[in-house]
Amino acid sequence: MSDNRTAPPVTVTLESGPTGAGSIDDFELFYARRALDRFRKRLGRQGLLDLLAADIEEGNAFLRESARTSDGRFTAGTTVLTTRGLTSAAFLAWMDRAFAGDENALLAAHPEHYAMGTDAVGARVVENIGPHVCSFSMGGWGTDAMAWAADAAELLPESEFPRKMSSNLFLADGTVVGRSLIQFGDTADGFTAHLTVYFPVTCPDDVMEHHLRHYAVEFRNWIVAAAAARA
């Protein structure tokens, strides 16, 4: 007869073998990234988009319906990162160069990045929004279309966070399915980044939670890449 006691979790400890630094999780991450990079390069940009065409259609339909049922109302979430050893100006200069022509650097920052770059509309992004693969653009930064940012509750003082970027996220048919407000302020030894995303209020909570995690992963990796390029 069972006594209903919970079995202790199984643990595995690396005692010897590899001579390089790192944990088993570190090793797995390295190999996962290497495998992903291989598949991306073998498929190519258009190959990835063709492979994901049905997923993108389904994901964009989800965003479009969320926008329709939310009737222009959004909910916000913010990820905050602190960086030491690099200024925000240096990081943003690297980002400008990457979006201008280094898609590989942009894609490498997150496993669920599929296409990124700048076109006539703005910055086009194909990535996961929660569990959904979506294709959207980010444009109109600093124009009248971004007037909403001036009244955003998440807007931080200009004196402390002078570098700001705001955008609507919109589908090819013009449907606004989200917003972003990204703010950077320098510190004595680096900078702080406030990364805010807005999704339609009818989106499930896990969509927001996963995008806040997404922000943490991609911006951490972009910052590390920017620092490495400077060295």
Give dist(CA 189, CA 183) in Å, integer: 17
Domain count, the chain: 2
pTM for the full predicted model: 0.91
Which domain range does residue 27 map to? 22-51
Do 62 and 47 lie in one domain? The reply is no
Whether the Cβ atoms of residue 201 and residue 77 lie closer than 8 Å to each other: no
Do 60 and 170 lie in one domain? The reply is yes
Of the three residues 35, 51, 67, the one that is the final residue of a domain is 51
The H or E element spanning position 65 is helix 53-70
Do 141 and 99 lie in one domain? The reply is yes
φ, ψ for residue 112, nearest 5 deg: -100, 30
pLDDT of residue 144: 56
- Give strand pairing partners of 193: 81, 184
Tell me the pLDDT tens digit for each residue of 129-159.
999 999 999 975 445 556 899 999 999 999 9
Do 226 and 135 lie in one domain? The reply is yes
Do 62 and 86 lie in one domain? The reply is yes
Coil, strand or helix: which one is 182? strand
Give dist(CA 141, CA 146) in Å, integer: 7
Low-confidence ranges of the chain (pLDDT < 70): 1-4, 140-146, 231
Whether the Cβ atoms of residue 199 and residue 66 lie closer than 8 Å to each other: yes
Write the DSSP symbol of residue 146. Answer: G
pLDDT of residue 230: 84
φ, ψ for residue 140, nearest 5 deg: 75, 25
Do 45 and 68 lie in one domain? The reply is no
Do 114 and 213 lie in one domain? The reply is yes
Tell me the pLDDT tens digit for each residue of 56-73.
999 999 999 999 999 999
Do 68 and 107 lie in one domain? The reply is yes
